[in-house]
Amino acid sequence: MSTEPHYTLYHPRWYRRRVSVWWWLQNRSYTGFVLRELTSVFVAFFAVISLWQLRALAQGPEAYAQFLARLRTPRFLALDTVAFLFVLFHAVTWFNLTPKAMVVRLRGKRVPDWVIVAQNYAAWLVLSGVVAFVLLRGR
């Protein structure tokens, strides 16, 4: 053959199925994936609440008391419960997946995934403890 075979990407009789907008409902893995991605919305939600809290603190004790009162309303309590569950889901999936991105090699052998995962959870416990201590001790 003196010429390269010429492949065309478009062939009129080949069948191309369009990917449906509902592709993510087609199996459990995909739906779980989209739920995991949607945790970012609740992450942003709490970031905004923290920003709001910061602003209330800057404005003085009355504004802060109003902020606290708002958080006690049923609507916010419900939202916060849902947000907490999604943030937990984010944390668990995040810790379980980090060893995939970070391969640590010690003395030539790859550190097994469970070691990295365990370290993540340990760090989580320690940091949560420190934060709780700082926020609960003051009067």
Partner 1 sequence: MPSTVALTVARYRPEQESEPTVQTYEVPFRKDWVVLDALNHVKDNLDGSLAFRWSCRMGVCGSCGMKVNGTPKLTCATFLSDYLPGPIRVEPLDYFPVIRDLVVDLTDFVRKLKQVRPWIIRKEEKPPAEGEYLQTPDQLDTYKQFSMCINCMLCYSACPIYGLEPGFIGPAAIALAQRYNMDSRDQGAAERLKILSEHDGLWQCTFVGECTKVCPKHVDPAGAIQQYKLTAATHWVKSLLLPWGTR
Partner 2 sequence: MMRRITPFLWLLFSAGGTVAALLFPVHLFLTGLAFPFGWLAAPNYESLHRLLMHPVTRLYLFVLISLPLFHWAHRFRYTLYDGLQLKHLTALIAVLCYGAALLGTAMTAYLLWTIS
User: Using CB under 8 A as the criterion, which residues of the chain lie in contact with partner 2 when the complex forms?
Assistant: 19, 21, 24, 34, 37-38, 40-41, 43-44, 46-51, 53-55, 57-58, 61, 64-65, 68, 71-72, 76-77, 80-81, 83-84, 87-88, 90-91, 94-95, 98, 101, 120, 123-124, 127-128, 131-132, 134-136, 138-139
Give CA–CA dist 126/33, Å, rounded: 28
Q: CB nearer to partner 1: give 42 or 99.
A: 99
Closest to 124 measured CA to CA, from 90, 95, 85, 83:
95
Which one of partner 1, partner 2, none is in contact with 122 (Cβ closer than 5 to 8 A by kind)?
A: none
Q: Does 100 bind partner 1 (CB under 8 A)?
A: yes
Residue 2's alpha-carbon distances to 5, 8, in angstroms, are 9, 18
Instruction: Give the integer Cα–Cα distance in Å for 18 and 52.
Output: 44
Provide, rounded to whole angstroms, the least separation between the CB of residue 41 and partner 2.
7
Tokens linked to 90:
């984010």
Cβ nearer to partner 1, comparing 34 with 77? 34
Exposure class string for 87-113: b at 16+ Cβ within 10 A, else e: bebbeebebeeebeeeeeeeeeeeeee
Residues binding partner 1 (CB under 8 A): 7, 9, 11, 13-17, 19, 23-24, 26-27, 29-30, 33, 37, 97, 100-103, 105, 108-110
